Structure 1
Amino acid sequence: MQLANWACAYGGAQSQGIIRQVPDDFVVNEIQSFEHSGVGEHAFVLIEKVSENTDYVARMLARFAGVRQRDVSYAGLKDRHARTTQWFSVWLPGKPDPDWTELNCETIKVLQATRHSKKLKRGSLAGNQFNIRIRDWVGDKSVVEEQLLRIKSGGVPNYFGEQRFGRDGANINRALALFAGEKVSRNQRSIYLSAARSYLFNHILSTRVIDKTWNKALLGDILMFDGSHSFFKVDGLDESILSRVAALDLHPTAVLWGSGETQVTEAVATLEQQVVSQFSELAYGLVGFGVEQDRRVLRSCIKELQWQFVSENNLELSFTLGVGCYATSLLKEIVRLS
């Protein structure tokens, strides 16, 4: 199954360029959502990594500290082909910290270490700050700057990034094989299930982008508060709701498919069901594996967005995204990457 060319909200990319020629072209810094207490059974280590994936660093920490791999945790996966900073927690009950600086090497640097009473859970972060350089950029500056101004004020469609689906969408085909009875490891199963319902979500979102309703409240919608997972159903469209959606305080959502009754009604329910029914193997497979329905916002707010042309053909972007949002959702709106 091939990945679709999901719809853009601002006319589509009118320029082209290259990213990740070197790791410093793509810099990601994790933003913590809580303060460390300085005491407790869990060592917290802030690591800068270059061209290494998160799981590899977690395994390395486990070996170095002499603990099980499951005793090392992190808030989220970070790009490999980049320079990234993120926190890891290591459960060391009754044990002193080793000299974490002994881990320092060409691709890994320990920036800080402290303690906390609880481990670092998945998703326990406020967001990520990005600094991205687009090299060999070719296009009309006035067009891309107009798009960036609109993105700054209105956000972008909150697509799952292509990395969720594997190379050439391979994780979708592996999900279909899983649903057909193929045996895989627990970790692989989680990856393929996530890819399957992300794929359905992106198709629903793309349909609403085409309909120009991805950033508007519809009767029967489920709206989610910005920066929260709290939501409510829209039984009536009054001025208060419409203005809060326009102000980016509330966002429409789409289903993350699984078992359970749909929460939306009216035209929204019809739209979601029509899209999901086109991919019945994925939909039935998710239900069969006991995945429960959830909701995800259709819009990603791009905070602190700044840009500059550091030379005629090099565009630099700086911005902050919330948890679970992808930088590629912004990039696809403005540039075709080669």
Structure 2
Amino acid sequence: MNASAPEPGYLTGTLPGIGGHIREIPEDFRVEEIPLYAPSGQGDHLYLRVEKTGLGTLEVARILAKTFQVPQQAIGYAGLKDTRAVTVQTFSIHHGQAEQAERLCHPQIRILAISRHGNKLRPGHLAGNRFELTLRHVDRDAQDKAADILAVLQDLGVPNFFGPQRYGVLGNNDQVGLALLKRRWHQALAAIIGDAARIRHPDWRAAAEAFARGDLTECLRRLPPRMRDERSLVEALLRGQKDREALFLIPKQRLRLYLSAFQARLFDRILAMRLATIERVWAGDIAYRHDNGACFRVDDPATEQQRADRFEISATGPLFGRKMLTPTGQSALLEASLLDKFGLSYDDFRPGAGLNLEGDRRPLRVPLDKVEMEAGPGQLRLCFTLPRGSYATSLLREVMKSPLVGVTC
């Protein structure tokens, strides 16, 4: 069974969207990390608060490693931020010195603050993100429409769908992950090289067509130089290595991203099934406490629903893995039936080779905070705050109800 799914419905489906376009220029999409803690001012790690424009987090990390003359592993960050945006985030540099920051002369990076702390910044070390977005070519009554939609989302919560960036530029990272779990090595390789029908870049598309017909020499010739991982696996196949051997030449970090994308796709499926009752908790649910992130099983749904109504807790969906808390009752049946559709069991999420999935629970909804709007001619400026791990796309698709072309944050 293919992991891809039809576009889910809307929580605010009875309310019309405002239409429009997002991110015509990077300045239309501004994201600022909300730190989980303030740096202490002392320690082995230099903390740089930077504003970057048109650069991805990993690209900035490479620039910092070169500037400070440290291995890239010495660079820490709390979350991945998108390229086509203006983003403010903090990086840590192990053994970095403040005077070295003067060497950083890049037109797309501006240092806002410098401090020190005792530990490296790691993924998840943030409280949330503040978004400032400009939607253009919106309907004339966009502000009134958006106000009605946002009132519902503030009351019921924002559906906690994963953003498109989780699934990659071709939208098929989850298919690679599924193939890895099913040990379908050639299928995984083909998905990594890509489906030619989805590829716009002419050389990449030609390489994908060549791979599909088994012409590895032509595939390698046409693959763009920047696609180093893809080129390495094709070179391995040309040397006569088996599909699995070639596949595992790809860095494990990237293979884990494919597996996490499949986890995300399964979560999104469960969320789509429960969207109409997103604010409800069921007997046997694993609930999530929004104040501290703790999870617990719902034994008394009537009592716990009162807490859900106050937005203290929410039902969760699965990020399947060996340590995931499993629900009981109706929720358990729903999750088990989804695994059955893919011919998977819980044990399949232990593929070995250093790729075992720990698993977790993720809230089906998240609170929407600090909403501001400002209307202009043909546009709407929208500001809001979401918790860490949540995507602005989940809110935008409800407000706009139009294709979110180019939005990956």
| 2:160 matched residue in structure 1 | 158
Equivalent position to 1:216, from 266, 280, 288: 280
Query: Given that residues 284 and 329 in structure 2 are in contact (C-alpha distance below 8 angstroms), is that contact kept between their aligned partners in structure 1?
Result: yes
| 2:382 matched residue in structure 1 | 317
| 1:127 matched residue in structure 2 | 128
- Deviation at 1:139? 6.5
SS of the residue aligned with 2:123?
Answer: coil
Gaps of 5+ in 1: none
The alignment yields a C-alpha RMSD, in angstroms, of 2.0
1:305 paired to 2:365: no
Query: Given that residues 14 and 140 in structure 1 are in contact (C-alpha distance below 8 angstroms), is that contact kept between their aligned partners in structure 2?
Result: no
Query: Given that residues 14 and 139 in structure 1 are in contact (C-alpha distance below 8 angstroms), is that contact kept between their aligned partners in structure 2?
Result: no
Q: Partners of 1:166 and 1:303 in 2: how far apart?
A: 28
User: Which of structures 1 and 2 has the bigger CA Rg?
Assistant: 2
Q: Partners of 1:190 and 1:139 in 2: how far apart?
A: 45
- Deviation at 1:27? 0.2
- Deviation at 1:260? 5.2
- Deviation at 1:24? 0.9
1:34 paired to 2:37: yes
- Deviation at 1:33? 1.1
SS of the residue aligned with 1:133?
Answer: strand
**Counterpart amino acid of 2:286?**
I
1:226 paired to 2:290: yes
**Counterpart amino acid of 2:382?**
L
* Larger helix fraction of residues: 2
SS of the residue aligned with 2:38?
Answer: coil
Deviations along 1:66-93, one digit per CA (max 9) or x if unpaired, are 111101110010111000010000010x
Equivalent position to 2:254, from 188, 191, 204: 188
SS of the residue aligned with 2:138?
Answer: strand
Pick closer, same or farther for the CA change 1:318–1:53 going to 2, 3 Å: same
Q: TM-score, normalised by structure 1?
A: 0.92
Count of aligned pairs: 332
| 2:111 matched residue in structure 1 | 110
Q: Partners of 2:97 and 2:149 in 1: how far apart?
A: 52
**Counterpart amino acid of 1:295?**
R
Equivalent position to 2:20, from 14, 17, 22: 17
| 2:171 matched residue in structure 1 | 169
| 1:197 matched residue in structure 2 | 263
1:329 paired to 2:329: no
Query: Given that residues 324 and 358 in structure 2 are in contact (C-alpha distance below 8 angstroms), is that contact kept between their aligned partners in structure 1?
Result: no
Pick closer, same or farther for the CA change 1:113–1:219 going to 2, 3 Å: same
* Larger strand fraction of residues: 1
Q: Partners of 1:191 and 1:282 in 2: how far apart?
A: 20
Q: Partners of 1:285 and 1:315 in 2: how far apart?
A: 46
Pick closer, same or farther for the CA change 1:59–1:310 going to 2, 3 Å: same
Gaps of 5+ in 2: 186-243
Identity of aligned residues (%): 33
Q: Which moved more, 1:262-271 or 1:277-286?
A: 277-286
1:84 paired to 2:72: no
- Deviation at 1:26? 0.3
Deviations along 1:282-322, one digit per CA (max 9) or x if unpaired, are 976533342123100000111111222122x2011100111
Q: Partners of 2:292 and 2:342 in 1: how far apart?
A: 29
SS of the residue aligned with 1:99?
Answer: helix
**Counterpart amino acid of 2:269?**
H
Q: Partners of 1:227 and 1:26 in 2: how far apart?
A: 28
Query: Given that residues 325 and 360 in structure 2 are in contact (C-alpha distance below 8 angstroms), is that contact kept between their aligned partners in structure 1?
Result: no
